[in-house]
Amino acid sequence: MPRYDPARIEPHWQAHWDEHETFHTGPFEARRDKFYVLDMFPYPSGDGLHVGHPEGYTATDIICRYRRMTGTQVLHPMGWDAFGLPAEQHAIRTGTHPRETTYQNIDTFRRQLKMLGFSYDWSREFSTTDPDYFRWTQWIFLQLFDTWYDDECRWTGPDGLERVGRGRPISELPIPDAVADDGDEAVRRYQDRHRLAYQHEAPVNWCPALGTVLANEEVIDGKSERGEHPVERLPLRQWMLAITRYADRLLDGLDLVDWPESIRLLQRNWIGRSTGAEVDFFIGEPGQSADELDSAYALWQNRRKESGLPADSGEEVLRVYTTRPDTLFGATYMVIAPEHPFVERLTTELQREAVTTYQSQAAAKSDLDRTDLAKEKTGVFTGSYAVNPVNDQKIPIWVADYVLISYGTGAIMAVPGQDERDWEFAEVFDLPIIRTVEPPEDFTGQAYTGDGPAINSGFLDGLEIDGAKDRIIEHLRGTGQGNSAVNFKLRDWLFSRQHFWGEPFPVWHELDEEGNLTGLMRAESEENLPAKLPENFEFKPHGRPDPPLEEAPDEWLYRTDEDGTRLKRETNSMPQWAGSCWYYLRFADPKNTDRFIDAEAETNWLPVDLYIGGAEHAVLHLLYSRFWHKVLFDRGYLRTPEPFTRLVNQGMILGEAELTGFQDESGEWVSAREVDSETFSGEKVSLTADDVQKQGEEFVLTEHPEIVIDSRAYKMSKSRGNVINPDDIVAEYGADSLRLYEMFMGPLEATKPWSMSGVEGVSRFLGRVWRMISDDRADEVTLNPAIADAEPDEEQLRMLHRTIKAVTEDIEKLSFNTAISRLMEFTNALGQADPRPRSLMGPFVLLLSPFAPHLAEELWNLLGHDESLAYEPWPECDESLLVTSTVEIPVQVNGKLRGKIVVATDADQETIQEAAAADETVARFLQDKTVVKTVVVPGRLVNFVVK
RNA sequence: GCGAGAGUGGCGGAAUUGGCAGACGCGCCAGAUUUAGGAUCUGGUUCCCUACCGGGAAUGGGGGUUCGAGUCCCCCCUCUCGCACCA
């Protein structure tokens, strides 16, 4: 009677685990191994869980449950990354405070996760929006604010590695005499410029119609993604974090971690380290004539020989960065970005109108438009010239938006002969092109970027690229006109948002008599943390790009300090990244009121041993976390140099595969080969497997085999209507089936389509497991009568131990799909055995338990155990039981399978060869042939090579 | 354009890392049981030829190395994901 009934079993065991605090992390024991398994911090959206969440979460849960059974102490926490824009926008629409929405959503998420039976230590749960948590987020910000990066500091960290470069307290920043002479305020401003957290005017995407500032990806073609309203770019005072100072450290750290090579490569490319040279091109005074420029240039060169290359390039030169200093003789013009500070001074009266127009056009474009490669190069001549320092040639300076202000120095030397972009530009504006690297004879392209000897390059002629680079840098350094340099694609991190629902900055701005910001700041003192958001404040869009908190009540916004200085709070808020940058630390010590994490807790639990989540965080989140971690490491608060030892990205789950046919306006079928499914304007017809058949590589209509149809799985999306809701799956099949299915679909890291009949498949398997052990025809839940204290036979025992071995190895490899198939094989082999030896059932249930914990607990109980199986020892494989006395091996003739023989496992080569030759079919193929060679691999195969 | 990953039955996917291609599941076919089943159990199921015994072909395509290649090497095609004027 009692059939497999997850709706009864699952809530029962979830309640049991809760009541018995089964998965609370016990006190740390130094003698035991530890394992910290972490899921990427979820944002509790109003939509609740989607099927992508349980994929990673089930994987980590399996590992945790398995590890506990092997005697490891496991830390497996869960919490909420709950600041963010959706709750704020919801609040603006409905008037509900974001806090309320957020905590409601968290309740939904928690309920859903508990429903799936994950073995989190819920006693460690927190949300980034909890004042107890963001207090420490703010505290860490203050550490960033208090830190400068000393490039030259050589030191040995607590990990025993020697490094160059360290974040140090700002009080230790050496102050140049010239600054010190200017007084306290100058010193403070000097320090502020060197802090890892500093302020900077940066353009934001301001959308007046929506009354909000948009992220870059929310702006398309200069219009808002939502509503297509115009977006303006305007500069706003912003907080920046100097992550670029840590670029080399972030790069080096990648060698210390066990991450997928693809992710490390992604981070390396993102950081984008390049080496080359900085070169100064003399530009003289504004409005100088050509002759004046020449004579001033000679004087300048003499001065530079004396002084060497200054750190600050000054007003009379245009400094460029290049990775190809060897091509300097081919620099026939220069280009500066439209935002370059020298545009104004370089533009001659004749060119002024054209340049200004060009600048404003460029300003209106979004970054995305500007980087559209398809378009032709644009630009304007400034009217001014610079002098090429190696050949004294005067070359024109242009303004063009293909040069980015944010990279290098915002100015380039253009070498069309060796650079495709410069070549393109030179062609459009008819600028001279000089090749400085000899292309191969058969080279037919335009710019030549490959290897070759230098030509047209004076003293560099004949040198290969690397040699020429060394030689020219030596020359530039000697003449004080340049030096080797390193550059990064990585930019400093724009760390402020003009939003309400985020962590407030614990910073005050000093005001002058008139109430204006002086630019000087005071950090909130640690004991005053957390700096909370204002209460009783209805934030509404106020129609200006500055933050909504500008309208906060005065008692929140202003304060007078002890020395009588009027202070105004920082009104920007931190971005969502902030909270997720360090949550993995807090989980090790979530209730600590004295420190963000206790040193001992860190030593005990960190680093995270296994971190699983989506690849969408491959770059930003992981880079930001690593950055914060390294700053805290430098400041002596952490002893681990990297936060996440092993990283795994789960693949995306797509919707169920769809078969689509296309019909034009007149209802005629159109072959999929002739249409673009995105833009197709006719009728898209959903088909079923019965309508189609496979023809070569494609699916075609059975009725019209000339019509190819489209067959593929799409990303789940509301608009496509192919979203699978985990709640529905649990309601129909149970949590164990959902967990098992998501693991059975395929490799964890692969993208894979959902299949409802696949869910039924694993659900049927769990039904078979249920019936293998329980009696589904009895009225009560009782053991299956076939279960007996019988001795298992040799084969059954071997089956069990083979399963133990395979499942164990597969879990270690995170190869859950194959582990499950092994469990299925066991069930297929023993599900009908009668008698069913009880001694085999227990270990099997334990093997199943990490995957389908509810069912396993229930069956374990049924097998007569009172305690949860969560801490039962993991079954061990007895290798001696795997050995068989005979083995079947294939026999090939010329590499083709011709027969199979059964021989003793320890049979020698000769015996095997004889047996193989004696096989009837094999003998037939050997007849009338000469055996040229015989390959015998004992236990594996025999191959006769004949002629 | 650059970078990374992947192409195996009708479908999802397995294959000691060079050794029986297609484990396991879905789907499909047949049978058993059942009042019935979209429940359960048993068997079959890569394709082609063959009544059977058998045989041939096959891991996106082409070439190569090897006794032996899904696996290694070279060329090409397709798909997915990143990056995208970074000088």
Supply the ipTM of this predicted assembly.
0.94
The two structure tokens encoding residue A672: 């999929």
For A594-612, b where at least 16 C-beta lie within 10 A, e where not — what string?
Answer: eebbeeebbebbbbbbbbb
pLDDT < 50 regions, chain A: 1
Predicted pLDDT of residue A833: 86
Query: Strand B closer than 7 Å to the CB of A888?
Result: yes
Query: Strand B closer than 7 Å to the CB of A363?
Result: no
Query: How does pLDDT run across A191-217, given as a tens digit for each residue?
Result: 999 999 999 888 777 877 777 777 666
Instruction: Strand B proximity: list residues 630-669 of A with CB under 7 Å.
Output: 657
Nearest nt by C1' to A269 Cα? B83
Q: What is the CA A194 to C1' B17 distance in angstroms?
A: 53
Sort A107 into a burial class: Cβ within 10 Å, 0-12 / 13-18 / 19+: exposed
Q: What is the CA A573 to C1' B21 distance in angstroms?
A: 59
Backbone angles phi, psi at A349, to 5 degrees: -55, -40
Q: What is the CA A745 to C1' B26 distance in angstroms?
A: 11
Nearest nt by C1' to A322 Cα? B87
C-alpha to C-alpha distance for A51 and A62, rounded to whole angstroms: 17
- What is the CA A352 to chain-centroid distance, rounded? 45
Predicted pLDDT of residue A682: 82
Query: Strand B closer than 7 Å to the CB of A269?
Result: yes
> Which nucleotides of strand B lie under 7 Å from a protein CB?
3-5, 10-15, 19-21, 23-27, 39-42, 54-57, 60, 67-69, 80-87
Query: Strand B closer than 7 Å to the CB of A266?
Result: yes
Q: What is the CA radius of gyration of chain A?
A: 35
C-alpha to C-alpha distance for A417 and A436, rounded to whole angstroms: 7
Query: Strand B closer than 7 Å to the CB of A103?
Result: no
Query: Strand B closer than 7 Å to the CB of A894?
Result: yes
Q: Calculate the alpha carbon distances from A890 to A185, A467, A703, A904, A926 in Å.
A: 86, 60, 44, 14, 15
DSSP letter, residue A926: H
Backbone angles phi, psi at A669, to 5 degrees: -65, 140
Q: What is the CA A790 to C1' B22 distance in angstroms?
A: 36
C-alpha to C-alpha distance for A454 and A781, rounded to whole angstroms: 86
The two structure tokens encoding residue A607: 């680093």
Q: What is the CA A673 to C1' B78 distance in angstroms?
A: 13
Instruction: Strand B proximity: list residues 836-875 of A with CB under 7 Å.
Output: none
Nearest to A198, CA basis, from A567, A558, A523: A523
Q: What is the CA A945 to C1' B64 distance in angstroms?
A: 20
Q: What is the CA A203 to C1' B3 distance in angstroms?
A: 30
Query: Strand B closer than 7 Å to the CB of A898?
Result: yes
Query: Strand B closer than 7 Å to the CB of A697?
Result: yes
Nearest nt by C1' to A270 Cα? B83
Q: What is the CA A768 to C1' B43 distance in angstroms?
A: 18
C-alpha to C-alpha distance for A888 and A902, rounded to whole angstroms: 4
Q: Which residue is nearest to nucleotide B13 (CA to C1')?
A: A746
Nearest to A86, CA basis, from A47, A138, A135: A47
Q: What is the CA A28 to C1' B64 distance in angstroms?
A: 59
Predicted pLDDT of residue A449: 87
Q: Assess contact for A358 and A379: CB atoms under 8 A.
A: yes
The two structure tokens encoding residue A585: 């630390």
Instruction: Strand B proximity: list residues 327-346 of A with CB under 7 Å.
Output: 337
Q: Which domains does chain A have, with CATH numbers?
A: 33-127+578-650 (3.40.50.620), 200-239 (no CATH), 274-488 (3.90.740.10), 658-712 (no CATH), 726-881 (1.10.730.10), 884-946 (3.10.20.590)
Query: Strand B closer than 7 Å to the CB of A895?
Result: yes
Nearest nt by C1' to A488 Cα? B86
Q: What is the CA A768 to C1' B42 distance in angstroms?
A: 15
Q: What is the CA A485 to C1' B25 distance in angstroms?
A: 58
C-alpha to C-alpha distance for A216 and A367, rounded to whole angstroms: 8
Instruction: Strand B proximity: list residues 54-83 of A with CB under 7 Å.
Output: none
C-alpha to C-alpha distance for A761 and A567, rounded to whole angstroms: 66
Q: What is the CA A733 to C1' B13 distance in angstroms?
A: 22
Query: Strand B closer than 7 Å to the CB of A617?
Result: no
Query: Strand B closer than 7 Å to the CB of A828?
Result: yes
Q: Which residue is nearest to nucleotide B84 (CA to C1')?
A: A371
Q: What is the CA A660 to C1' B21 distance in angstroms?
A: 32
Amino acid letter, residue A167: G
- What is the CA A59 to chain-centroid distance, rounded? 18
Q: Assess contact for A348 and A432: CB atoms under 8 A.
A: no
Nearest nt by C1' to A921 Cα? B54
C-alpha to C-alpha distance for A213 and A237, rounded to whole angstroms: 13
Q: What is the CA A777 to C1' B33 distance in angstroms?
A: 15
Q: Assess contact for A803 and A810: CB atoms under 8 A.
A: no
Q: What is the CA A582 to C1' B84 distance in angstroms?
A: 31
Instruction: Strand B proximity: list residues 475-514 of A with CB under 7 Å.
Output: 487, 489
Query: Strand B closer than 7 Å to the CB of A775?
Result: no
Predicted pLDDT of residue A1: 47
Query: Strand B closer than 7 Å to the CB of A614?
Result: no
Which residue blocks in A150-289 are alpha helix, DSSP H? Answer: 177-181, 184-194, 247-253, 261-271
Predicted pLDDT of residue A215: 67
Amino acid letter, residue A632: L
Q: What is the CA A265 to C1' B2 distance in angstroms?
A: 13
C-alpha to C-alpha distance for A818 and A821, rounded to whole angstroms: 5
Query: Strand B closer than 7 Å to the CB of A290?
Result: no
Predicted pLDDT of residue A915: 86
Beta-strand runs (E) in A805-919 = 836-837, 886-893, 896-904
Query: Strand B closer than 7 Å to the CB of A941?
Result: yes
β-bridge pairing A896-904 and A34-39: unpaired
Q: Calculate the alpha carbon distances from A659 to A142, A693, A696, A698, A712 in Å.
A: 56, 11, 16, 11, 7
Nearest nt by C1' to A407 Cα? B86
